[in-house]
Amino acid sequence: MVSPIQAYLEELHRRHHLVTDGAVATYIPELAKADPNWFGVCLVTATGSIYEVGDARQPFTIQSISKPFVYGLALEDHGRPVVLEKVGLEPTGDAFNSISLEPGTGRPRNPMINAGAIATTSLVQGKSVDGRFTRILDMFSNCAGRPLAVEEAVYQSESQTGHRNRAIGHMLRNFNILERDPTPDLELYFKQCSIAVTCRDLGMMAATLANQGVNPVTGRQALRGEYVESVLSVMGSCGMYDYAGSWIYHVGMPAKSGVAGGIIAVLPGQLGIGVFSPPLDDKGNSVRGIRVCDELSRYFDLHLFNRPSSAQSAVRARYSGSQITSSRVRSTEEARLLHQLGDGIRVYQLQGNLGFVTTEVVVQGVVSEPGAVRHVILDLRRVLSMNESSCHLFHELLAVLVAQKINLIFTHAERFPLLRRFMKVKLKDRFDQDYRSFEDNDLAMEWCEDQMLEEALPKGIQGLTAAVEDYELFQGLDKKELCVVQELLERRTYRQGDVVVQMGDEAKYLYLVVSGRASVMLQTNNGARKRLATFTAGMAFGEMAFIDRAPRSANVIPDTELVCDLLDLDAFEALSKHDPLIKIKLLENLCLGLSSKLRKSNRELSVFE
Amino acid sequence: MVSPIQAYLEELHRRHHLVTDGAVATYIPELAKADPNWFGVCLVTATGSIYEVGDARQPFTIQSISKPFVYGLALEDHGRPVVLEKVGLEPTGDAFNSISLEPGTGRPRNPMINAGAIATTSLVQGKSVDGRFTRILDMFSNCAGRPLAVEEAVYQSESQTGHRNRAIGHMLRNFNILERDPTPDLELYFKQCSIAVTCRDLGMMAATLANQGVNPVTGRQALRGEYVESVLSVMGSCGMYDYAGSWIYHVGMPAKSGVAGGIIAVLPGQLGIGVFSPPLDDKGNSVRGIRVCDELSRYFDLHLFNRPSSAQSAVRARYSGSQITSSRVRSTEEARLLHQLGDGIRVYQLQGNLGFVTTEVVVQGVVSEPGAVRHVILDLRRVLSMNESSCHLFHELLAVLVAQKINLIFTHAERFPLLRRFMKVKLKDRFDQDYRSFEDNDLAMEWCEDQMLEEALPKGIQGLTAAVEDYELFQGLDKKELCVVQELLERRTYRQGDVVVQMGDEAKYLYLVVSGRASVMLQTNNGARKRLATFTAGMAFGEMAFIDRAPRSANVIPDTELVCDLLDLDAFEALSKHDPLIKIKLLENLCLGLSSKLRKSNRELSVFE
């Protein structure tokens, strides 16, 4: 099936191909050779979907679109303060070829005009001029996701006719913005402008900026994330020369144009657009490029400043320990208690990107919980990203909760090493005590339940050893009947490391736990083991085999030394003949157990569904 | 519990209170009376959380912060093209009090300088000058969420000393930007600048712009959503005078400052910030205001251009009709078929804001589905917003699918009337045929299942009448045993509108469906009715009462004329005595039924959990 987005772009391309306004740049002789009919559009999402139409594979030179990328490289080499000393940040309101140095200091007004870009290029480090150029080329190639190269004819042409830029270079030398002979830096600048790209490359480079510096297809970090916002800022305020204000107003994305007819536009966190069409307007921007971006922005509602709030969707589900319990199967008494006390445990299942406003919603929810809450579990399994702001807020939330003797517990936190490092630095010697983290919600929930039960039950959370009359399966049997079934039982002891029940095996027994603890474990497709249930003294497992005779569907392994009473399947069968009333009671108990499990599953389903 | 965000703001306020740089504005005598110690900060999220510290309730005059709001009003009155004829969009690079008219046309360069703002104010419509001012005041009040008023002393002072602005007014008249005597428009302008606000008001006004023009606390639309992006655009490019480029670079939010010491900053879709501190720097911006915004932006990672991708989280869950079935209980044969064919039904449970990139992820997923898919259900229940771009894409997706004879089905679509209207316009006379929408997923899933079963089963989806040997509960009984239980059954007929089982009633019977259809319905807390299951011929309901003797937990109502065989609870009890082997078989069948329901619940849970 053809994507409707592809179909729309093809229609858009057909329509704008008819536009014949503008003129191909002539100030560099090589550029004048461009075919005014060339026209390509490429849209790449931050999730890596690529849509391209028209002459999207036609090479041309990047020209001024190189400026923001080299600015990023200068920031990586020197940091913001040093770069700011050499190049300013303010739009000039002047035309694209204005020199615009600040009176007095001679500092170029911004890095998107030629003077600023030459100063920026001079900041790129390397052992030699060639080495410096290789760094620029590598960075551009990483952004584009394929190796790029210089278009030699254009470079020669630029170098031979670059008198105005040479004048700028010497003016910058005069003001000591360039601190050495400007000639090598000018050649470097001419060369960076002559790197050949396609419209598809521009789309990928734009998408790399949209994706915090990571190429969304190769997954490679092409520019350090912390500098992407600075690169996009100068594009936003000065990227389209003296059309910058109108561009932001109409199109609403940081952008940069080049005189060869390229334009990139970036919607942060969302997508990048590359357009190529050589005819330019009198401000030096591609005519079709501006119209295509304008229409794409309107048709797809891409304006940066037109964003609905998505903070609410940070909480995927929120539930209490009385709605969902751990897979530790509890005795009737414990279950009753947990149903009462379970509201003291709150789980927030989080998702998406955690930044300030999304985390605020969580923090606000937690600090507004009623007083009875003792444990708050934050589940990070579905969180896509977490920034430092979010770590700050979680640390401060933890401090507030600890002061109220409330536990804050993270699950799946190993996905965000930043959080742990951050907490370690902030909590110092209280880290081991205050920072609680469990592999998953089930283990965290079990720990919270144990805490609550230990407080509430004077003799601790469970009886150590079950007698035959304690088994839930045998409830309702009288003494004589108990004697009959006791005769059928065979006692066995298992050690840790043993396997009590093996998945796929034929079912022969029902197991009644005398003492110790055993868990039902499922091997998932990705090799991880998932706990389905944990049983302790008095409980039964493997009982479904008595009804459906199906092979075992999971492993059961002892968590501790485990003593079980085994009820043989054939012996159970035979009860129909000798003691049908006992069998009826056992089946009724089985039904009750299944129905209680079904109720639990349905209750849990209603939380998530 | 004190929110950690509140605690952080208090600490931030304490620290910046020590800053003593800058000077209170003196060019309007009344402003010079401000206390340089006044200092308030207010942060309001787009979800309506409010945090305020310091002198957040101290009134002061709004001054130039009025400009973007009045610009919004002018856009509402005339639309973008007319307003653009009168006021440009380009930053000037000049100081805050520069006149900056375009050479030739005399059009002010942008609406954030005084000349542009006076021209904007002249565009506000109304029957009289008073009426025009009331409109301005009402709009500001709606943004702030409380009634505002003019600070009369400041207005008099502005009016008496506003010589420079009067000069600008006459210059605009000279160029015919103002088309009549400038005096009333100048008075209106002086008055709009003299509206008294507090720092809390500024925070709310900023949050209203962040929330697409809707005050996040009152829920009232204060400015039409479509113009918010334009207002924020001029704030972004020109809001901080000749500090605009640096501001976007460092703080990364559209903003506006006023000479009384106020600043607003807006992070679209996320939050608004108001700061108030009268001492200004030499560019006319509040010194503490800039520092506070700068620190808030860094500490909470608020920079507009530093956004991770959240497109992936648009799909909350994705499953097929073989993972989750409708609550229509199927016969064994139907269930087997649906398990085979269920992959032909795909459900996308969507969430969050649907715009271009989020919808793209859905569209991309759907067009990449394998060829066997016949039905695609898009569940909109958890979608927060849907824009026109999303409607475009869904319409185009529908066209692509219809061409492949695949159904596209929306559920919970009544939440987005825009979608239906859009489809109606686009699909024209194919609307009734191609646009499919169901109240919820369960009904949509049932419809898809029926379609598949009708194709696959030659004799249609179900037998019309069940005989006693067809009942699933009686499987495994021999002829003689069937005769015994048949004696215990009592046949009853129900009509639509009857109630077969009433929630809360004592349980007396188990029901076996002879013919017709009945549904188990639960009344939810909000009055809605939720279907739990639908039964047809051969199936049993109400069976749990035979085990737990609990009162009925839901209603059962006939969907059609319904004939049932009722099995009396006492008669079932009595089987223990006379025919224990029959009772054992019935209990085993009950266990099998329960266990199959439990497996279905657990399978569904694993999709969502």
Residue B144's pLDDT band, with cuts at 50, 70 and 90, is very high
Residue A600 has pLDDT above 90, yes or no: no
By C-alpha distance, the chain B residue nearest A48 is: B361
Compute the average pLDDT of residues A339-366. Answer: 95
State both tokens at A542: 């493997």
Question: How confident is the model at residue B95, as a pLDDT?
Answer: 67
* Residue A1 host element (H or E): none
Domains of chain A: 4-299 (3.40.710.10), 311-456 (3.30.750.24), 468-608 (2.60.120.10)
Residue A95 has pLDDT above 90, yes or no: no
Contact call for residues A120 and A105 (beta carbons, < 8 A): no
* Residue A510 host element (H or E): strand A509-515
The answer to whether the CB atoms of A388 and B301 lie below 8 A apart is: yes
Question: How confident is the model at residue B28, as a pLDDT?
Answer: 83
Residue A47, chain B, CB below 8 Å: the answer is yes
The Cα A597–Cα A603 span in angstroms is 10
Contact call for residues A243 and A286 (beta carbons, < 8 A): no
State both tokens at A539: 């409980």
Residue B342's pLDDT band, with cuts at 50, 70 and 90, is very high
A227 is catalytic: no
Chain A CB contacts of B401 under 8 Å are 1
State both tokens at A158: 């630029």
CA distance readout (Å), B535 to B334, B509, B521, B539, B603: 13, 16, 12, 6, 21
Residue A360's pLDDT band, with cuts at 50, 70 and 90, is very high
A window 396-425, beta carbon within 8 A of B: 396-397, 399-401, 404
A249 is catalytic: no
Pairing mode, strands A149-150 and A195-197? antiparallel
The answer to whether the CB atoms of A304 and B367 lie below 8 A apart is: no
Question: How confident is the model at residue B462, as a pLDDT?
Answer: 56
Chain B CB contacts of A583 under 8 Å are 580, 584
Instruction: Specify the higher pLDDT residue, A88 or B543.
Output: A88
| Residue B368: burial class (beta carbons within 10 Å; 0-12, 13-18, 19+) | exposed
Compute the average pLDDT of residues B580-589. Answer: 94
Residue A588, chain B, CB below 8 Å: the answer is yes
Helical spans, DSSP H, in B510-559: 545-548
Compute the average pLDDT of residues B310-329. Answer: 91
Region of B104 please: left (phi>0), alpha (psi -120 to 50) or beta. Answer: left
pLDDT digits (tens, 9 = 90+) for B247-299: 999 999 999 999 999 999 999 999 999 999 999 999 899 999 999 999 999 99
The answer to whether the CB atoms of A356 and B271 lie below 8 A apart is: yes
The Cα B297–Cα A355 span in angstroms is 12
pLDDT digits (tens, 9 = 90+) for A184-224: 999 999 999 999 999 999 999 999 999 999 999 999 999 99
The Cα B247–Cα B256 span in angstroms is 10
Residue A212, chain B, CB below 8 Å: the answer is yes
The Cα A33–Cα A29 span in angstroms is 7
* Residue A518 host element (H or E): strand A518-523
Residue A302 has pLDDT above 80, yes or no: yes
A552 bridge partner residues: none
Compute the average pLDDT of residues B223-247. Answer: 93
Residue type, B431: F
Chain A CB contacts of B393 under 8 Å are 4-5
How far does A160 lie from chain B, in Å, by closest CA?
33
Q: Which of A109, A364, A548 sits opposite B49 (nearest CB)?
A: A364
CA distance readout (Å), B537 to A82, B461, B462, B541: 81, 11, 8, 11
The per-residue DSSP string of B547-563 comes to: HH-PPP-SEEEESS-EE
Contact call for residues B594 and A591 (beta carbons, < 8 A): yes
Contact call for residues A189 and A125 (beta carbons, < 8 A): no
Largest CA distance in chain A: 110
Beginning with the edge strand found earlier in the chain, give each strand of the sheet holding B509-515 in spatial order: B489-494, B562-568, B509-515, B540-541
CA distance readout (Å), A289 to A79, A222, A274: 33, 25, 8
Chain B CB contacts of A210 under 8 Å are 309
How far does A516 lie from chain B, in Å, by closest CA?
27
* Other CB atoms within 10 Å distance of the CB of residue A243: 22
By C-alpha distance, the chain A residue nearest B316 is: A316
**Residues in contact with A487: Cβ distance below 8 Å, sequence separation at least 6, in sequence order:** none
Residue B461 has pLDDT above 90, yes or no: no
Q: Which of A41, A64, A362, A435 is catalytic?
A: A64
The answer to whether the CB atoms of B595 and A592 lie below 8 A apart is: no
**Residues in contact with A387: Cβ distance below 8 Å, sequence separation at least 6, in sequence order:** A353, A354, A355, B301, B308
Q: How would you write A309-367 as a 3-class SS string?
A: CCHHHHEEEEEECCCCCCCECCCHHHHHHHHHHHHHEEEEEEEEEECHHHHHHHHHHHH
Provide the whole-model pTM: 0.91
**Residues in contact with A360: Cβ distance below 8 Å, sequence separation at least 6, in sequence order:** A311, A393, B5, B45, B47, B49
Residue type, A44: V
The Cα A357–Cα A360 span in angstroms is 5
Question: How confident is the model at residue B585, as a pLDDT?
Answer: 94
State both tokens at A80: 């913001």
* Other CB atoms within 10 Å distance of the CB of residue B408: 21
State both tokens at A187: 């050649």
The Cα A15–Cα B214 span in angstroms is 37
How far does A125 lie from chain B, in Å, by closest CA?
23
State both tokens at B257: 């400052």
* Residue B588 host element (H or E): helix B580-608
The Cα B201–Cα B40 span in angstroms is 11
Q: Cite the beta strand spans of A153-261 per DSSP E.
A: 195-197, 255-257
Q: Which of B303, B387, B400 sits opposite A1 (nearest CB)?
A: B400
* Other CB atoms within 10 Å distance of the CB of residue A362: 22
Residue A545's pLDDT band, with cuts at 50, 70 and 90, is confident
**Residues in contact with B481: Cβ distance below 8 Å, sequence separation at least 6, in sequence order:** B579, B581, B582, B585
Chain B interface, best mutation among A248, A359, A405, A603, by max B CB count within 10 A? A248
Angle, vertex CA B211, rays to CA B205 and CA B217, nearest 5? 65
Average pLDDT score, chain A: 93
Compute the average pLDDT of residues B472-485. Answer: 93
Chain A interface, best mutation among B247, B300, B386, B426, by max A CB count within 10 A? B300
**Residues in contact with B236: Cβ distance below 8 Å, sequence separation at least 6, in sequence order:** A236, A248, A305, B244, B248, B254
Chain A interface, best mutation among B209, B235, B307, by max A CB count within 10 A? B307
Which residues of B form the catalytic set?
64, 67, 189, 241, 259
Contact call for residues A233 and A261 (beta carbons, < 8 A): no
Chain B CB contacts of A238 under 8 Å are 245
By C-alpha distance, the chain B residue nearest A239 is: B245
Residues, chain B, total?
609
Average pLDDT score, chain B: 93
Contact call for residues B605 and A441 (beta carbons, < 8 A): no
How far does A198 lie from chain B, in Å, by closest CA?
23
Residue B528 has pLDDT above 80, yes or no: no
A55 bridge partner residues: none
The Cα B252–Cα B255 span in angstroms is 9
Q: Which of A228, A400, A594 sits opposite B594 (nearest CB)?
A: A594
Residue A595, chain B, CB below 8 Å: the answer is yes
Residue A242, chain B, CB below 8 Å: the answer is yes
Chain B CB contacts of A357 under 8 Å are 45-47, 267, 270-271
Pairing mode, strands A345-354 and A315-320? antiparallel
Q: Which of A71, A155, A227, A241 is catalytic?
A: A241
Q: Angle of helix A183-193 relative to helix A129-144, nearest 10 degrees?
A: 20
By C-alpha distance, the chain B residue nearest A393 is: B4
Sign of CA dihedral A578, A584, A585, A590: positive
Question: How confident is the model at residue B187, as a pLDDT?
Answer: 97
Three-state secondary structure call for residue B300: coil
Percent of chain A clearing pLDDT 70 (strictly above): 98
Torsions phi, psi of B323, nearest 5?
Answer: -85, -40
Residue B93 has pLDDT above 70, yes or no: no
The answer to whether the CB atoms of B90 and A1 lie below 8 A apart is: no
The Cα B452–Cα B301 span in angstroms is 51
> For residue B112, which of B285, B273, B274, B269 has the smallest C-alpha distance?
B285
A window 453-492, beta carbon within 8 A of B: none
Beginning with the edge strand found earlier in the chain, give each strand of the sheet holding A195-197 in spatial order: A60-61, A195-197, A149-150
